[in-house]
Chain A
Amino acid sequence: MKLTVDKLAQLRDELQAQKAAREGEARAQVTVHMGTCGISAGAREVMNALLDALRERQITDVRVTTSGCAGLCSSEPMATVQIRDAAPVKYVDLSASKIIRVLDEHVLGGQVVKEFALAVGSERIA
């Protein structure tokens, strides 16, 4: 493919979206808690569903990370949603369909999904 000035700019925009993960300006971050308890309770399916949904919706500025056990093993799988400039929200007892609702309503829509939410905020760190 031979590029022209316009095609070069178009190509750059497409590529930039793909590599957003590397540079990291994100509007939100979703942390799926993947300690042993989380994984055995199905965190992997939650993660896969979330990644698939992001891909389908062509969202590139939501960062997805993992972290260890959040301390409430009986309520796993858990995830924490952090929207820029807002307090983090923890969700409990998630499933593949629930995380998609969290994505659409909270991450993209801005409304906390109260039925799955545990609490707003995080522990204090000494």
Chain B
Amino acid sequence: MFESTSHEDRAGQATQRLHLMVCAGTGCVSNNSMKVKAALEEELAKHDLTREIKVVATGCNGFCGVGPLLLVQPDGILYQKLKPSQIPALVEEHLVKGRPVEKHMYHPPEGEQPVPLMNDIPFFKKQVLITLRNRGLIDPENIDDYIARDGYQALAKMLTQLTPEQVVEEVKASALRGRGGGGFPTGVKWETCRNAHSEDGAKYVICNADEGDPGAFMDRSIIEGNPHSVIEGMLIGAYAIGATRGYIYVRLEYPLALKRFQLALEQARAYGLLGEKILGTDFNLDIEVHRGAGAFVCGEATALMASIEGRVGEPRAKYVHTVERGLWNRPSCLNNVETWANVPLIIREGAKWFTKLGTGDVSENPWGGSKGTKVFSLAGKVNNTGLVEVPMGITLREIIYDIGGGIQDGKKFKAVQTGGPSGGCLPERLLDVDILDLEVDFDTLVKAGSMMGSGGMVVMAEDDCMIDVARYFIEFLMGESCGKCTPCREGLRNMAKILKRICDGEGRESDIELLEELGHAMMDGSLCGLGTSAPNPVISTIRYFRDEFEAHIRDKKCPAGVCRELVEYSIDSDRCNGCTLCAQACPARAIVGEQKQVHAVEQTHCTKCGACYDACNFHAVIRN
């Protein structure tokens, strides 16, 4: 149970000169960051430094690729890839003797000097933080940390200065668009919900934390790092639309997010920020957490609401929108985590401040551009993977090369996948324009043939097979389709079958056309948004990588060398010097040859794992 710290406790608490911010996001925790934290505490006690140095567990820092991370404040020095065994020496050097330790700092891929300060690392430099502004600076399990960073001030401002109508107008003027994928203007949604009639006066605000796209973890990170920003956003939304109750729908796979939400709600209640007579006014709202069972389809609005009601999580047709008849047939306002987390800043700083960042002109209508920032989870073949928040309109080049640090192993950039399973793959060149120059926002991505989605961004290099990627997404969707309507259920199953046979070298001449026909039938005939967008990974791949499909089907070749059935390994007798490295690397013992003699691959034993290709230092192993 949370005990709010009394005034006396706080005054008695020493003001420590250094704060060690240990990342306790899921990525770092799974890399043993809590053991690093324990080791730090132990060493500090040993050196009698606990009075002057404080250890704080924070939410996700975003630079997940090099965790566990430790940020030393106020110096701003960032240590990466820490192991508990390295802590005694680090404490001795940096904290006792004041000599920052270079070998644990970030080293840029070019192998230059280490970069001591977090804000000098290119990964952080280009980011602009709104929803993640408290990341790494607060302890998400302590409401006091959020309050010290002006938390709940937007709520106080609203309750003392703004009417619900003014709040709706402010959010409309900010042109905030739904960060869950659709990009629908949040203020417009709120207004419709506010004006909707409820027979008994009940209305609901709901937070969609059922983030399910493969490779996407923006929402989890916001909850884990700053749960109160979501709660404050929901309080503001509830006041604006006149809601009486709130629900947070968290997927089962996010245990840490769930725990932090529950703790945050408890702490907010203890401070009178939730419940009855909030901050001493007549505004009442309580929020409860609903755990989902981890079904992708429950991220769809109507399925999510059915699941909260205790029914099977299946979508329904939306002739009547959920803002009019949603949860328990009452007007319901559903926004995703990132959208809610933007709201407090908009109310506190004003719509004008928010619209300074971003693209387009929204003075006439909120569809005119994309304002503010977007959080992306940057994954795939980039050097710096992790979570990044960037202003709308930033180019893909800045995201992939400046923040992401370029492609791993100096390979060539091939494509970028955005929008998760509902999005698409964009090729390197599109209509004679370098895709890296694309200024990312809701509308440019749709125009290019993909979508913003919730913010997954998977970067692919020359050695990624686009058919294989499409197959991955289709197989994922096939498993997640709820099965209620035929086009989605059967369409996905057949698409998966066709893609498998193409990858296995059994593709037929008419398969591309068949995939397109199936895709269009699914787009036309599916009930919910997940079904209508499910063929996108295939359709966009056919559109931009048709030659790769043709190579698989006609020539029975996989140009990227990924599809095993279409690849054959052999050894170039001119280049092989008989060093035996490939034979040693081969797990199937399929490589024969004496030392210093030319080797050969026995095709009957070869499992096509590619270990020999990676092992050879002389480019003598040929893959085709």
Chain A residues with a Cβ under 8 A of chain B: 1-5, 8-9, 11-12, 14-24, 26, 31, 33-36, 39, 47, 51, 54-55, 60, 63-68
Contacts and interface: CB of A to CB of B under 8 A. Distances in A.
B160 interface: yes
9 contacts: A1-B271, A3-B280, A5-B156, A8-B279, A19-B145, A22-B74, A24-B73, A51-B51, A60-B15
Contacts of B4: 1
B18 interface: yes
Contacts of B159: 5
Given A18-B15, A34-B98, A60-B15, A23 B74 contact: yes
B88 interface: no
Contacts of A36: 97
A67 B153 contact: no
B272 interface: yes
A8 B153 CA distance: 8
Contact of A2 (B76, B97, B271): B271
B113 interface: no
Interface stretch (B6-14, B448-456, B550-558, B571-579): B6-14
Contacts of B144: 11, 15
Q: Size class of B's contact patch?
A: 35 or more
A1 B273 CA distance: 11
Contacts of B14: 51, 55
Given A21-B17, A67-B99, A3 B279 contact: yes
Contacts of B16: 21
A78 to B, nearest CB: 12
Contacts of A24: 73-74, 76
A109 B472 CA distance: 68
A18 B10 contact: yes
B515 interface: no
B148 A63 contact: no
Given A11-B147, A18-B148, A23-B74, A34 B272 contact: no
Contact of B279 (A4, A55, A65): A4
Interface string B89-102: 00000011111000
Interface in B145-171: 145, 147-148, 150-153, 156, 159-160
B52 interface: yes
Nearest to B47: A44
B17 A51 contact: yes
Q: Which of A18, A22, A68 has the most CB of B within 10 A?
A: A22
B56 to A, nearest CB: 8
Which 6 interchain pairs have the tightest Cβ spacing? A24-B74, A2-B272, A66-B98, A15-B148, A4-B280, A67-B98
A15 B147 contact: yes
B60 to A, nearest CB: 17
A34 B6 contact: no
A34 B98 CA distance: 7
A54 B6 CA distance: 22
B69 to A, nearest CB: 16
Contacts of B99: 67-68
Contacts of A47: 52
A14 B144 CA distance: 10
Given A8-B153, A11-B147, A22-B19, 8 more contacts: A8-B156, A15-B148, A19-B19, A21-B73, A34-B98, A39-B97, A55-B14, A68-B98
A28 to B, nearest CB: 13
Contacts, number: 108
B392 interface: no
Contacts of B51: 51
Interface string B50-61: 011000000000
A1 B52 contact: no
B427 to A, nearest CB: 44
Interface of B: 4, 6-7, 10-11, 13-19, 21, 51-52, 73-76, 95-99, 137, 144-145, 147-148, 150-153, 156, 159-160, 270-273, 279-281
B74 A68 contact: no
Nearest to A60: B15
Contact of B74 (A2, A15, A16, A63): A63
Contacts of B73: 21-24
A47 to B, nearest CB: 7
A15 B10 contact: yes
Contacts of A20: 15
Contact of B13 (A18, A35, A51, A63): A18
A60 to B, nearest CB: 6
Given A22-B137, A64-B17, A3 B272 contact: yes
Contacts of A64: 17, 52
A31 B97 CA distance: 11
A17 B15 CA distance: 8
A31 B17 CA distance: 11
B279 A54 contact: no
B152 A8 contact: yes
Contact of B280 (A5, A19, A26, A60): A5
A35 B76 CA distance: 21
B150 A65 contact: no
Q: Which of A2, A17, A31, A39 has the most CB of B within 10 A?
A: A2
A39 B95 CA distance: 13
A111 to B, nearest CB: 24
A96 to B, nearest CB: 15
Contacts of A15: 10, 144-145, 147-148
A18 B54 CA distance: 11
Given A12-B153, A15-B10, A66 B97 contact: yes
Given A18-B10, A51-B51, A12 B147 contact: yes
Nearest to B159: A5
A18 B95 CA distance: 20
Contacts of B281: 5
A107 to B, nearest CB: 14
A16 B458 CA distance: 39
Contacts of B156: 5, 8-9
B147 A35 contact: no
B10 A66 contact: no
A34 B97 CA distance: 5
Nearest to B73: A22
A1 B6 contact: yes
B97 A68 contact: yes
Contacts of A35: 97
Nearest to A15: B148
B291 to A, nearest CB: 28
A23 B152 CA distance: 19
A67 B10 CA distance: 29
Given A5-B160, A21-B15, A63-B74, A12 B150 contact: yes
